[in-house]
Each structure stands twice: as structure tokens, then as C-alpha cells.
């Protein structure tokens, strides 16, 4: 039985925006253009200039860029409280390197670094927008305090989380944010992934409460509406992660338990769509912008 060739080794690092080179930009745009429609170099550069930095994945053999994730560090005041946030923008990995978790590890380290350097009394959040359920699962499967959430936040932070989400959405996307619906509507001409966003069937929704909830709060995902989300980044979450991840690994790799909805999804997607995540997509930043 033939086996696929081993993937080339890569290195991953965070690059502040003032150190991003012309070569980096050229390679980033080439990768971006290969996965997105309605792209334009001037718009890409303008958007990139507003970012704080980029997490890059390069081949060790020739330093060729094969993946990146743009990041913005934000400072806001919400309900009289200072707030900091990390907004993850475009996240793309060359499909030949799907399944490589180095980007996710680098992002985790970046978040931990921000947790450590911030004043402990100023909360820090991860901001992301979800066009499809897989991005939403990326947050729900890797976070303990997040918004929006089925059943509400166990710690009673929903109202404040809602205000923070509204604040960053209005700050980043004032023309596209629909406060009443709590979604972003970029219109049909906006930059979007080539290929289809992963569908939500009744069977898939019934198998996973998070997928069903995403479909409920963002029913317009089929026409491109995106759901603004946040996840708390704090010491409490890190401790919970250190406590629960070994148990999660044991259940999955030793007991053979699967992520809820994963088996249903695999059965329904016997023929993988063009933009399918290659590995355990709900647990890593593996592919082109999560959908």
C-alpha cells in the first residue's frame, strides 16, 4: 500500500509587523490568493498594516512561507473596565502541511506570553469570528470561558462578555456589524474562501450541542454571516487546560472516544470538500481560514 511522502520540517515564529519583509508579504499574499476569492494586493497590504504581528510557518530547507496567522493586540474600555484582546485574523496553511500543529502551538505560546506580561487586573481575551461551525468548535473545544455559549457561561459573565464582543466588533468592523443580530454581514462581494463552507445537517446538529447552537445564533452562515466570539485567556483557564488535557488525550487515544459529532461528520463527508481540515480540525489551526 503506497504511503505519502513525509512532510518537510518547518519552524514557526512570531514576527512583529515592523519586521515583516517584502518577501514575507509576497509569499503571504500568494498563499492567501490561492485559498481566497475576490482578493486584491493593495487591500491585503492595507489590512496587514493594521495588524500587530504575524505568526509564520516556514520550511526549514529554504525558509519558504507555508502558513501564517495575523494577530492584533487590542486595548479597550468596556463598562468602565480596561480590557485587552488578541484578535486572530487570516489563518492559512498550505494544504500540503495540513495536520502540522506547530501554528497552534505557536499561537498558544503567544497567548501565554500575553497573559504573563499583562497586569493581572486587566482581563485578556481571544477575539475571533466564525463563518462556519468548525471555527466555532475550535474555540469551544479549546476554551473554558467563551461567548456566545449554549446554556450560558457557568461563571455568570455572559453580559460582560456580550459587551466586550460588541465593543471589539464595532471597533474592527463598524460598517458590517449588526448589533441586533450579533453577527457580521460582509456582503457577497467580500473576500471569502474558495469552495464551500462545511454544511450543518440535522444529523450533525443533533450530535453536538455546540454545532446546533452555532446554527441557532448565526442562521445566516450559509450566506456569509460571521459570528463574533471571544474566549477568556487567564491563569484559571491555563490551570484547567493543564488538568484536563491529559485526560482528554487518554480518552481519545487509549479509550478511543471521539469528539462529539466527529463520527457523524466523517460519515456525511465521505467525499471530502475542497476546504476540509485534514486532521482533528476542531483542536488545531490546521488549514486555511477555519470555516
Is the pLDDT assigned to residue 254 strictly greater than 50? yes
Is the pLDDT assigned to residue 240 strictly greater than 70? yes
C-alpha cell recorded at residue 277: 481540515
Residue 51's pLDDT is 96
Q: Which of 20-24, 71-75, 82-86, 282-286 has the lowest mean pLDDT?
A: 282-286
| pLDDT band of 49, cuts 50, 70, 90 | very high
Q: What is the mean pLDDT of residues 68-90?
A: 96
At residue 287, what are phi and psi to the nearest 5 degrees? -125, -165
C-alpha cell recorded at residue 1: 500500500
3-state secondary structure at position 50: coil
Q: Which of 30-39, 53-62, 238-247 has the lowest mean pLDDT?
A: 238-247
Q: Chain-wide mean pLDDT for the chain?
A: 84
C-alpha cell recorded at residue 20: 515583516
In this predicted model, what pLDDT tens digit does every residue of 151-191 receive, in sequence order? 999 989 999 999 999 999 999 999 999 999 999 998 877 77
Is the pLDDT assigned to residue 196 strictly greater than 90? no
Is the pLDDT assigned to residue 94 strictly greater than 60? yes
| pLDDT band of 142, cuts 50, 70, 90 | confident
Q: What pTM does this model have?
A: 0.81
242 versus 103: the higher-pLDDT residue is 103
User: Over pLDDT 90: what percentage of the chain?
Assistant: 57
Give the C-alpha distances (Å, rounded to integers) separating 232 from 136, 138, 235.
Answer: 14, 14, 10
Is 70 in contact with 285 (CB distance < 8 Å)? Answer: no
Residue 247's pLDDT is 61
DSSP state of 226: B
Give the position of cell 477568556.
Answer: 232
C-alpha cell recorded at residue 74: 487590542
Is 68 in contact with 55 (CB distance < 8 Å)? Answer: yes
Listed in sequence order, the residues at least 6 apart from 131 whose beta carbon sits closer than 8 Å to its beta carbon are 192, 193, 197, 221, 224, 225, 226, 227, 289, 291
At residue 21, what are phi and psi to the nearest 5 degrees? -90, 170
Q: What is the mean pLDDT of residues 107-126?
A: 91
Residue 272's pLDDT is 36
Packing angle, helices 22-35 and 41-49, rounded to 10: 120
Is 225 in contact with 217 (CB distance < 8 Å)? Answer: no
Packing angle, helices 209-217 and 133-140, rounded to 10: 130
∠ CA 47-102-279, nearest 5°, is 100
Is 38 in contact with 191 (CB distance < 8 Å)? Answer: yes
Choose from 68-72, 101-105, 110-114, 258-262 the range with maximum mean pLDDT: 68-72
Residue 189's pLDDT is 74
128 versus 196: the higher-pLDDT residue is 128
Amino acid at each position: 500500500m503506497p504511503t505519502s511522502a513525509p512532510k518537510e520540517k518547518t519552524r514557526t515564529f512570531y514576527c512583529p509587523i515592523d519586521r515583516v519583509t517584502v518577501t514575507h508579504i509576497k509569499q503571504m499574499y500568494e498563499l492567501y490568493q490561492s485559498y481566497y476569492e475576490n482578493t486584491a494586493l493593495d487591500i491585503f497590504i492595507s489590512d496587514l498594516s493594521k495588524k500587530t504581528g504575524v505568526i509564520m510557518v516556514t520550511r526549514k530547507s529554504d525558509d519558504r512561507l507555508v502558513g501564517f496567522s495575523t494577530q492584533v493586540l487590542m486595548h479597550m474600555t468596556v463598562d468602565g473596565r480596561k480590557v485587552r484582546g488578541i484578535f486572530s485574523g487570516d489563518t492559512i496553511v498550505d494544504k500540503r502541511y495540513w495536520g502540522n500543529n506547530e501554528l497552534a502551538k505557536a499561537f498558544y505560546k503567544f497567548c501565554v506570553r500575553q497573559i504573563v506580561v499583562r497586569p493581572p487586573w486587566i482581563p485578556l481575551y481571544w477575539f475571533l469570528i466564525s463563518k462556519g461551525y468548525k471555527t466555532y468548535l475550535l474555540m469551544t473545544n479549546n476554551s473554558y470561558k467563551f461567548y456566545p455559549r449554549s446554556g450560558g457561561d457557568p461563571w455568570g459573565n455572559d453580559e460582560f462578555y456580550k459587551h466586550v464582543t460588541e465593543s471589539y466588533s464595532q471597533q474592527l468592523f463598524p460598517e458590517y456589524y449588526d448589533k441586533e443580530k450579533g453577527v457580521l454581514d460582509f456582503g457577497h462581494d467580500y473576500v471569502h474562501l474558495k469552495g464551500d463552507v462545511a454544511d450543518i445537517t440535522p444529523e450533525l446538529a443533533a450530535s453536538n450541542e455546540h454545532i446546533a447552537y452555532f446554527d441557532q445564533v448565526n442562521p445566516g452562515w450559509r450566506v456569509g454571516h460571521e459570528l463574533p466570539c471571544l474566549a477568556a485567556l487567564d491563569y484559571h483557564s491555563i490551570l484547567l487546560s493543564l488538568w484536563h488535557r491529559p485526560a482528554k488525550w487518554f480518552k481519545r487515544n487509549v479509550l478511543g472516544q471521539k469528539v462529539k459529532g466527529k463520527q457523524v461528520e466523517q460519515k456525511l463527508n465521505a467525499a471530502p470538500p475542497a476546504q476540509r481540515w485534514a486532521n482533528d480540525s476542531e483542536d488545531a489551526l490546521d488549514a486555511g481560514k477555519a470555516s
